[in-house]
């Protein structure tokens, strides 16, 4: 069983992607044109927010949002210890000081109490990450932000369409960064990203930053970069966005099926869905102290799995200058040793889940 399938050969999707390509070819507009404008409007509406600015990738979405909010050298930014490295890299990219805190051991997202305890005089921003498809608990973090004047940037690179207390990802934080890397729930056919916000000034700033700090050609108000979402990717994303809700529904159905098949295994912790959350299962992540053995036996049974993530950010060479060491974030370090992502993609079907679950039961001695 493959870990993931982009399903580009699905006849209906293939036809629509081909038509999108021909439309852009016929228009002759390749950068900052009508496809991007249309996608930005459609995605903002999908998220339940007012504005969306397309950028080159998810990391740029995060770092440009921080810059647009005025986060700069010396400003402290609270991040979860357990996340993909890009969350941390966005902070160092703008010269910010990383302030990592532990995650909640059941939802694997920022623990609001840990955030409260970490706020200091130089803290300017918080980046809650909605990891694996499960939203971070944003309301208590927004309340802390009001109290302390912080900017809240949700990293929803893995959570397009996830529900938080009846709102979708993109509708709660001051700004929300998305990645459209091909394997994400909403994926382009290359690199792409976006920032969604209800704040028109922030949106305008991001539009300047992504295009050399310029709104009008050859007039540069601020020092920007080149990070645009091109017309071809925008056209492809419109095709994928039209199928996102259906595909998230399939992911949820398959996750339920996994839970039915694996729920009785005592040594195995399944993904949790908080009462206030609607999980979109970007990844189906299980936990067991026997992780390495389970992964080996699944590999032998022909089932591909991955580990998200095997080495926590605070133990990566790239962040050695922070002087952090093993033992600093016990929950995160235990997760790095125990998590395993099982195959999950919208078209894998219940039969696919049955195969993986059968192999997992056999590996854990409960065949
Ligand atoms: C994928 C991802 C990113 C980065 O997105 P890119 O488009 O690959 O730059 C950031 N944060 C998280 C949590 C991600 O999963």
Both tokens of residue 256? 């339920």
Mean pLDDT of 339-345: 98
Whole-number Å distance between alpha carbons of 172 and 310: 30
Cβ(313) – ligand 1 distance below 6 Å: no
Level-2 CATH architecture, domain 11-100+109-241? 3-Layer(aba) Sandwich (3.40)
**Identical fold between 11-100+109-241 and 244-363:** no
Residue 268 has pLDDT above 80, yes or no: yes
Looking up tokens 């809700």 gives: 245
Token pair for 126: 């918080």
Under 8 Å between Cβ of 133 and 279: yes
Query: Would the CB of 128 count as within 6 Å of ligand 1?
Result: no
Ligand 1 pocket check: which of 181, 182, 210, 282 to mutate, most ligand atoms within 8 Å of Cβ?
Answer: 181
Read off the pLDDT of each residue in 35-45 and give the average, rounded to a whole number: 98
188 CB near ligand 1 (under 6 Å): no
- Minimal-distance CA residue to ligand 1 atom 14: 157
Pocket test for ligand 1, best of 155, 185, 233 (most atoms within 8 A of CB): 155
Residue 358 has pLDDT above 80, yes or no: yes
* Per-domain residue ranges of the chain: 11-100+109-241, 244-363
Residues 105-120 have a mean pLDDT of 97
Euclidean distance between the first and the last CA atom of the chain, given in angstroms as a whole number: 18
CA distance 158 to 220: 33
CB 86 less than 6 A from any atom of ligand 1: yes
Tell whether the model's pLDDT for residue 198 goes beyond 70.
yes
pLDDT at 354 over 70: yes
155 lines ligand 1 (CB under 6 A): yes
Asked if the peptide bond before residue 75 counts as cis, ω within 30 degrees of 0, the response is no
Calpha distance 127→309 (Å, rounded) = 18
pLDDT(281) > 70: yes
φ, ψ dihedrals at 39, nearest 5°: -60, -45
Region 312-325 average pLDDT: 97
From the candidate CATH numbers 3.50.50.60, 3.90.1150.10, 3.40.30.10, 1.10.490.10, the one assigned to the domain spanning 244-363: 3.90.1150.10
Q: Is it the case that residue 161 has pLDDT exceeding 70?
A: yes
176 lines ligand 1 (CB under 6 A): no
Average pLDDT for residues 256-262, to the nearest whole number? 98
193's enclosing H/E stretch is: strand 193-197
Joined together, the tokens standing for residue 47 give: 């998220």
Provide the sign of the torsion angle of the four alpha carbons 53, 57, 63, 67, taken in this order.
Answer: negative
pLDDT in the model for residue 365: 83
Residue nearest to atom 7 of ligand 1 (CA): 58
Q: Indicate which residue's Cα is closest to atom 10 of ligand 1.
A: 86
On the question of pLDDT at 366 being above 90, the answer is: no
What does the pLDDT look like over 199-239, one tens digit per residue?
999 999 999 999 999 999 999 999 999 999 999 999 999 99
20 lines ligand 1 (CB under 6 A): no
Q: Distance (Å, rounded) from C-alpha 271 to C-alpha 259?
A: 9
Q: What mean pLDDT value characterizes the chain?
A: 97
| Strand, coil or helix: 27 | helix
Which burial class, exposed, middle or buried, applies to 216 when counting CB atoms under 10 A from its CB (0-12, 13-18, 19+)?
exposed
CA distances from 215 to 41, 207, 218, 221 (A): 19, 8, 9, 8
DSSP assignments along 244-304, one per residue: HHHHHHHHHHHHHHHHHHHTT-TT-BPPP--TTEE---SSEEEE-TTHHHHHHHHHHTT--
């Amino acid at each position: 069983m493959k870990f993931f399938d982009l399903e580009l050969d699905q006849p209906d999707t293939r036809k629509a992607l081909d038509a999108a390509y021909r439309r852009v070819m016929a228009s002759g507009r390749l950068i900052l044109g009508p496809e991007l404008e249309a996608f930005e409007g459609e995605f903002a509406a999908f998220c339940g927010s007012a504005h969306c600015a397309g950028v080159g990738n998810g990391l740029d979405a995060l770092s440009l949002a921080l810059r647009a909010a005025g986060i700069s050298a010396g400003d402290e930014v609270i991040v979860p210890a357990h996340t993909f490295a890009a969350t941390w890299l966005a902070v160092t990219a703008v010269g910010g000081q990383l302030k990592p805190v532990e995650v909640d051991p059941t939802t694997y997202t920022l623990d609001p109490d840990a955030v409260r305890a970490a706020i200091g005089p130089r803290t300017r921003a918080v980046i809650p990450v909605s990891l694996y498809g499960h939203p971070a608990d944003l309301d208590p973090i927004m309340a802390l932000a009001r109290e302390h004047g912080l900017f809240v940037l949700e990293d929803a690179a893995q959570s397009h369409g996830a529900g938080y207390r009846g709102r979708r990802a993109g509708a709660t934080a001051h700004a929300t960064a998305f990645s459209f890397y091909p394997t994400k729930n909403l994926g382009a056919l290359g690199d792409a990203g976006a920032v969604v916000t209800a704040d028109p000034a922030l949106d305008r700033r991001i539009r300047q930053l992504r295009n050399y700090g310029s709104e009008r050609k050859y007039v540069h108000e601020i020092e920007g970069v080149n990070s645009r979402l091109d017309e071809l990717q925008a056209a492809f994303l419109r095709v994928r966005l039209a199928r996102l809700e259906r595909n998230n529904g399939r992911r949820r159905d398959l996750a339920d099926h996994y839970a039915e098949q694996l729920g009785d295994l005592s040594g195995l912790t399944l993904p949790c869905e908080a009462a206030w959350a609607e999980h979109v299962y970007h990844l189906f992540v299980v936990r067991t102290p026997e992780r390495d053995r389970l992964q080996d036996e699944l590999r032998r049974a022909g089932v591909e799995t991955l580990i998200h993530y095997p080495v926590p950010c605070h133990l990566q060479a790239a962040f050695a200058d922070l002087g952090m060491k093993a033992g600093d974030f016990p929950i995160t370090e235990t997760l790095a040793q125990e998590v395993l992502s099982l195959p999950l993609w919208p078209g894998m079907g219940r039969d696919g889940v049955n195969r993986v679950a059968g192999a997992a039961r056999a590996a854990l001695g409960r065949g």
